[in-house]
Amino acid sequence: MDEDSRYEAVRSRDGRFDGAFFFAVETTGIYCRPSCPAVTPKRRNVRFFPTAAAAQGSGFRACRRCRPDSVPGSAEWNVRADAVGRAVRLIADGVVDREGVAGLAARLGYSARQVQRQLTAELGAGPVALARAQRAHTARLLLRTTDLPITEIAFASGFSSVRQFNDTVREVYAATPTEVRAAAPRSRGARRAAPGAGIPLRLAHRGPYQAAAVFDQLAREAVPGVEEVSGTPGGRTYRRTLRLPYGTALAAVGERSRGARAAGGMHPGGWLDAQVHLSDPRDLTTAVQRLRRLFDLDADPYAVDERLAADPGLAPLVAARPGLRSPGAADPLEPAVRALVGVAGAAELVLRYGKALDAPCGSLTHVFPEPAALAGAEPGGPLGALAAALADGTVRLDPGADRDDAARALLALPGLAPAVVATLRVRALGDPDVAPPGVDAPDSWRPWRSYAVQHLRVAQTARTAAEPGAPG
């Protein structure tokens, strides 16, 4: 989009572009999302930025009305497989907070200077600024939704000192942390968590969201001890454990997608309500990002549906389920284990090799086993080979892994079939353009073949369920 097109999106308050770019108003010193309901500023006073971090770096503070830092991430970074896309995914996972810029660069195979130059050229901000913007958003979330002590929030958000935390919050939000907390709504459904309780979250998404299809799939695949889906269709809750860098977590996500209203009618997007209980609050950012990948919340359904609806065979499926998502994985090893040994086999491995929770929560008793623990589960077999390769770094399936390199490394492992590798590209690596072996996926479906295949699978599952004598 050129700047004139972006301004037209701002004038029409087009929420389809929330997160794709931001605009700032020089006369007010505020930056907003395109769908901000405030009066549209004059064109000569508007500047555009590719990221919230770039706007903050130019001295603009976040709008208190549209909260631009809380929009879904740009779908572009999930699609792109280059170094910049991989870097953005790693920063979102908290790598800079945990390992610094040097750690990020090492994972990408570049020097820190190269990473800084590439990110600044494309996003208007380097890795430190991008991580800082993310920390500020996490801090605001904790200040508004919990009663955690402010000092604890500072370190949970990823800041290295309370002073750095205070300075950043004041700069980004033009308010002290205490003032941000005091301005949070206290009534009419506002949710706050006391110390020790789970943190309430709104997991935002753009466009329509076919939650039923996602929850159906998660229910079929749920590994006992680690995951469960309870309730009735339309109001189900998905619960699971998470193994995170500093500790463990229990997460719950509700099925019902809630829409956000804005000026001019229904905002084209919404959110899923969630609750996360962390053993270490420093894991909040990583936990949120892993849930977002699992539920495919950063996808651009407009781009996907427009492309796939042009195919006569897919058009009825897209019309029936606009905004269908392609679920990912909260732990990259989980889809591989399910593909190799099935759900029942995975449950046995969880009991034998998974770490037991200190305090089980209902049917959730363990976190999924670490690769090193599973390496000895099947010596010489495909599962053992894959787990060992993940444990020693021969194969990488983290958010910043090169998808082609990972696929080649996976295919080189003994006994790992191409179908399993295709599953891992979609689920663990979030590749939107995978055609599994045996599926006739024409080039006209690119770059969304994973979503096209998902449409075919969901439609087939629905037809099978509707056949006479089908269970349920």
- Neighbouring CB atoms inside 10 A of 217's CB total 18
Are residues 330 and 274 located together in one domain of the fold? yes
Are residues 300 and 401 located together in one domain of the fold? yes
Q: Is residue 171 part of a domain?
A: yes
CATH number of the domain where residue 28 is located = 3.40.10.10
Total structural domains in the chain? 3
Q: Is residue 390 part of a domain?
A: yes
* Residue among 309, 266, 294 at smallest CA distance from 444: 309
Sorted by sequence, the CB contacts under 8 Å of residue 280 that are 6+ apart come out as: 244, 246, 247
Are residues 229 and 100 located together in one domain of the fold? no
Are residues 136 and 268 located together in one domain of the fold? no
8-state DSSP, 197: S
Which of 70, 93, 119 lies at the terminal end of a domain, its last residue? 70
Are residues 219 and 127 located together in one domain of the fold? no
Are residues 65 and 98 located together in one domain of the fold? no
- CB of 398 within 8 A of CB of 107? yes
Q: Is residue 376 part of a domain?
A: yes
Q: Is residue 458 part of a domain?
A: yes
Amino acid 184: pLDDT: 79
Q: Is residue 383 part of a domain?
A: yes
Sorted by sequence, the CB contacts under 8 Å of residue 4 that are 6+ apart come out as: none
Q: Is residue 260 part of a domain?
A: yes
Are residues 162 and 207 located together in one domain of the fold? no
Domain of residue 18: give its range.
3-70
Are residues 295 and 440 located together in one domain of the fold? yes
Amino acid 404: pLDDT: 95
Series of mean pLDDT values for 10-residue runs along the chain (472 residues) = 92 88 96 93 96 94 87 76 91 93 95 96 94 93 87 90 94 92 66 64 90 97 97 96 96 86 49 93 92 94 95 97 96 93 96 94 96 86 93 92 95 94 95 93 95 97 82 60
For the chain, how far is it from start to end, CA to CA, in angstroms?
48
Strand-pair partners of 303? none
User: Looking only at Cα atoms, what is the longest distance across the chain?
Assistant: 67
Q: Is residue 77 part of a domain?
A: no
Sorted by sequence, the CB contacts under 8 Å of residue 42 that are 6+ apart come out as: none
Are residues 248 and 348 located together in one domain of the fold? yes
Are residues 364 and 385 located together in one domain of the fold? yes
Q: Is residue 290 part of a domain?
A: yes
Backbone conformation region of residue 280, classed left if phi is above 0, alpha if psi is from -120 to 50, else beta: beta
Are residues 172 and 319 located together in one domain of the fold? no
Strands (E) in 306-354, as ranges, are none
Assigned token pair, 123: 């996003």
Are residues 156 and 221 located together in one domain of the fold? no
